[in-house]
Amino acid sequence: MPLMDEFKEEREQVKNRSFKERCAYFWDYYKWHVIGGIALAAIFGSLLYTFLTRKDTAFYAVLMNMYPSLTAEEYKDGFAESAGIDLKEYNVFFDSDMHLDLEALDQATISTSQKMTVYLTAGDIDVLVSDTAGMNRYAYINALMDLREFLSAEDYEKYKPYFFYMDRALAEAAETSESEILYPEDPSDPDSMTDPVPVGIRVNDCQALSNAYFFSDHQYFAVIVNTGHPELAHAFLDFIWDVPENP
């Protein structure tokens, strides 16, 4: 018997079955079509919801080698409020999932390096708050802004005792020779450098910051050179500064 005739005969037989039998027949033959259709509808619905509810990012700070305390979310919300950012309309990210160890090439370091490369290239990051390892890593690939171009004359004198300096001569030498950089032992001492450039401000004595995040080394504030929100970077520096102890 031809295949089409068999199909028609089977359909006629199904019509004469009970409702329960017809449902069982349908499920046996079409369950994967139904499951696949539901899955596709769920994926489409999720993508549509994400698109319709997506908020622009007003500010993105990477808090490298830092661990959030129970008050970290409150700290972030406090900054958003002080900067006049409506969190119903915009996102503010304080990314503390980045961990870098220049002496141990572990999975966390590799992942952080990869993510930072992507984010820096895309211009997604505004501010880096990091320990010495992170500062050295990104200062010497020219990812951090020269603070002489960021601070007013008054603020420059205010923060000068807390500066982190990179030696631009070392960075330029490494570019031409492709050799490994031997970072200065004391990044707070410009006199030990050939061409010192202030790229960071020590903030580990700022009480509100140390209450919100745990860290073990000196921590520095730095501005990413291609930030899209320099005014909010200023606002963030003002927010975290909490009359540090004398250096």
Domains and CATH numbers, the chain: 3-52 (no CATH), 56-240 (3.40.190)
Residue-level pLDDT at 42: 47
Task: Classify 228 in phi/psi space as left (phi over 0), alpha (psi -120 to 50) or beta.
Answer: alpha
- Position 53 scores a pLDDT of 41
pLDDT mean for each 10 residues of the chain (247 residues)? 52 57 54 52 41 71 95 95 93 93 81 92 95 94 96 96 96 78 92 96 93 92 96 96 56
Given a contact cutoff of 8 angstroms between Cβ atoms, the answer to whether 64 and 100 are in contact is: yes
Conformational region of residue 9, where left means phi above 0, alpha means psi within -120 to 50, and beta covers everything else: alpha
Centre a 10 Å sphere on the Cβ of residue 168 and count the other Cβ atoms it contains.
18
Distance CA 154, CA 169 (A): 27
Residue 146: count of CB within 10 angstroms of its CB: 15
166 SS3 class: strand
pLDDT given for residue 26 in this prediction: 52
